[in-house]
């Protein structure tokens, strides 16, 4: 609920802040960051509006437009990433119940082929006597990505905001990255993707990863298109238990939409860890161990046996 309020609030608020309308002054560009709308330019045309105090004020028209579909990010911008940010995800294993809403949302929004998933929920049991738990696994967006090291054509690349993306227009389909990834996170479009015409006709962008193309590799992309709009990735919003937390490491904050925590506190207090740390990939996804669960592991099995794929 709050997160929806935020997005609604954002589009006007950021525009207004950028206009410097605080304290009733007119169209002076404000100093601090206005979020997604920071580079809206004053059009010069003024509009009259009503303030809370009942006064009529003037605001530049440009700042009042709701944020439209953001202009498409160019390929070179997509390869560069958002400056100053370092995206990180925290997955709380004590909350995952194998509901797989994350899989559903991600599959649906990205047109992932049936049977394949970019977010995968695994039943884990590390050893005979250790606890069983459900582990949602996204792409780790490693800081030393083995997949990027081996790509011969720079079709998969690491950005300055930490996200590892795939350029489906460049990929030659050699699948070396799939062999190199120890987290088995990448999938391949073996055939032409079976997606609705509306999705297939959208212009391709590395940041949306839509539409997927036959003969190329696909994977979780941390939804940079959503982040640019000030929204959370689809899996984060979709989980009813709030298992996924997403945020900017440089701000030391992660949120699942309703709860927000200071990242360093969260990891320290709940003993967060990363997968396969010893491989030296330096993943950007942290896991909180499955302690003090509200429901047993077995409750996740019901969702498991009914669905075949």
- In the window 5-44, what residues touch other proteins (CB under 8 A)? 5-6, 8-9, 11-13, 16-17, 21-22, 24, 32-33
- For residue 293, the minimal CB distance to other proteins (Å) is 20
The verdict on 244 binding other proteins (CB under 8 A) reads: no
Considering only CA atoms, which of 226, 229, 207 is closest in space to residue 37? 229
Size of the site for other proteins (CB under 8 A): 105
- For residue 291, the minimal CB distance to other proteins (Å) is 20
Question: How far apart, in whole angstroms, are the C-alpha atoms of residue 257 and residue 280?
Answer: 31
The verdict on 271 binding other proteins (CB under 8 A) reads: no
Q: Which stretch binds other proteins (CB under 8 A): 37-45, 52-60, 204-212, 290-298?
A: 52-60
Bond prior to 211 in cis (omega within 30° of 0): yes
- For residue 217, the minimal CB distance to other proteins (Å) is 8
Considering only residues 87-116, where is the footprint of other proteins by CB under 8 A? 115-116
Residue entry with tokens 């015409």: 197
Question: How far apart, in whole angstroms, are the C-alpha atoms of residue 112 and residue 118?
Answer: 8
DSSP letter for each residue of 168-186: TTT-----HHHHH-TT---
The verdict on 133 binding other proteins (CB under 8 A) reads: no
The verdict on 305 binding other proteins (CB under 8 A) reads: no
Which of 173, 289, 293, 299 is in the footprint of other proteins by CB under 8 A?
173
Question: How far apart, in whole angstroms, are the C-alpha atoms of residue 8 and residue 239?
Answer: 21
- For residue 11, the minimal CB distance to other proteins (Å) is 7
- For residue 245, the minimal CB distance to other proteins (Å) is 9
Which of 132, 146, 242, 289 is in the footprint of other proteins by CB under 8 A?
146
Which of 38, 41, 49, 271 is in the footprint of other proteins by CB under 8 A?
49
Residues 6 or more apart whose CB falls under 8 angstroms from that of 108 comprise none
Residues 6 or more apart whose CB falls under 8 angstroms from that of 113 comprise 187, 189, 190, 191, 193, 194, 212
Of the chain, the end-to-end C-alpha distance in Å amounts to: 31
The verdict on 3 binding other proteins (CB under 8 A) reads: yes
CB atoms within 10 A of CB 192: 12
Considering only CA atoms, which of 235, 230, 231 is closest in space to residue 220? 235
Q: Which stretch binds other proteins (CB under 8 A): 77-85, 89-97, 204-212, 285-293?
A: 77-85
Which of 93, 101, 111, 145 is in the footprint of other proteins by CB under 8 A?
145
The verdict on 2 binding other proteins (CB under 8 A) reads: yes
Nearer to other proteins, 1 or 197 (CB): 1
Considering only residues 181-220, where is the footprint of other proteins by CB under 8 A? 182-184, 186-192, 213-217
Considering only CA atoms, which of 275, 220, 237, 242 is closest in space to residue 92? 242
The verdict on 250 binding other proteins (CB under 8 A) reads: yes
The verdict on 46 binding other proteins (CB under 8 A) reads: no
Question: How far apart, in whole angstroms, are the C-alpha atoms of residue 109 and residue 67?
Answer: 20
């Amino acid at each position: 609920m709050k997160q929806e309020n935020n997005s609604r609030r954002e589009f006007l608020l950021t525009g207004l802040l950028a206009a410097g309308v605080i304290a009733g002054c007119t169209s002076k560009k404000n100093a601090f960051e206005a979020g997604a709308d920071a580079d809206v330019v004053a059009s010069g045309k003024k509009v009259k509006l009503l303030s809370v105090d009942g006064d009529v004020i003037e605001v530049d028209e440009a700042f009042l437009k709701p944020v439209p579909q953001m202009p498409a990010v160019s390929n070179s911008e997509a390869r560069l990433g958002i400056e100053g940010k370092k995206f990180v995800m925290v997955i709380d294993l004590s909350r995952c119940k194998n509901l797989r809403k994350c899989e559903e949302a991600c599959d649906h929004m990205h047109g992932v082929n049936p049977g394949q998933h970019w977010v995968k929920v695994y039943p884990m049991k590390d050893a005979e006597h250790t606890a069983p738990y459900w582990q949602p696994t996204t792409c780790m967006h490693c800081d030393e990505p083995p997949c990027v090291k081996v790509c011969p054509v720079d079709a998969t690349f690491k950005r300055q905001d930490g996200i590892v993306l795939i350029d489906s227009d460049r990929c030659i389909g050699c699948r070396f990255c799939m062999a190199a990834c120890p987290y088995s996170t990448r999938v391949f479009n073996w055939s032409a993707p079976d997606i609705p015409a509306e999705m297939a006709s959208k212009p391709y962008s590395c940041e949306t990863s839509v539409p997927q193309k036959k003969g190329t590799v696909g994977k979780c992309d941390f939804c940079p298109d959503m982040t640019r709009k000030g929204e959370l990735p689809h899996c984060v919003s979709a989980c009813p238990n709030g298992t996924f937390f997403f945020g900017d490491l440089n701000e030391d904050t992660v949120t699942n939409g309703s709860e927000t925590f200071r990242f360093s506190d969260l990891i320290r207090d709940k003993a967060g860890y990363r997968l396969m740390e010893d491989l030296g990939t330096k993943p950007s996804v942290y896991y909180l161990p499955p302690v003090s669960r509200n429901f047993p592991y077995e409750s996740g099995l019901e969702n498991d046996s009914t669905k075949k794929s």
